[in-house]
Amino acid sequence: MSKNYLSREGYEKLKQELYQLTKVERPAISQQIADARDKGDLSENAEYDAAKDAQGLLEMKISKLQQLFASSTILDESQIDTSKVSIFTTVRILNTKMNKEFTYTLVSEKEADLKQKKISARSAIGAALLGHTPGDIVSVQVPAGLMEFKVLEITA
């Protein structure tokens, strides 16, 4: 099991999601199963089958979140080293072919959100940038071909 790094904000969101699944949705599905069971013959009860399927999917989601928590470490973002690109750093890069600048924050897979300019440190671009310093040229193989970025600035 690989180690996952979370920000305090990401940890709190996951904690809230797990609470919602275990304390709200799990009891609701259990009630649906009980209600369907009360309707008689289970062998021909589509409502019962659907509720059992939903319960299985919910339990799988809960299990995955629990595994994520077990393998996660919360990083103190104030202690991040900005001398090189690492998780939770914000990096300003230049696409050398397009001559266009982009700014991204590298985060865990669970916290990635391109609309907020947060990319996974395990994505092709995120992984390629890790460990580089300002001035470095980084080549990244993506589905569209080879891209080159120049690391311009790293901040916390």
Q: Where are the domains of the chain?
A: 4-74, 77-155
Phi, psi (deg, nearest 5) at residue 56: -60, -45
From the options 1.10.10.10, 1.10.8.60, 1.20.140.10, 1.10.287.180, give the CATH code of 4-74. Answer: 1.10.287.180
- CA 49/CA 51 separation, integer angstroms: 5
Q: pTM of the predicted model, to two decimals?
A: 0.69
The predicted model gives 28-39 an average pLDDT of 89
pLDDT tens-digit series, residues 94-128: 999 999 999 999 998 889 999 999 999 999 999 99
The pLDDT score that the predictor gives to residue 85 is 96
Report the largest interatomic distance among the alpha carbons of the chain, rounded to a whole angstrom. 71
Instruction: Note whether 38 and 104 are within 8 A (CB).
Output: no
Identify the weakest region by mean pLDDT among 2-11, 55-64, 84-93: 2-11
User: Can you name the CATH fold of 77-155?
Assistant: Chitinase A; domain 3 (3.10.50)
The pLDDT score that the predictor gives to residue 1 is 53
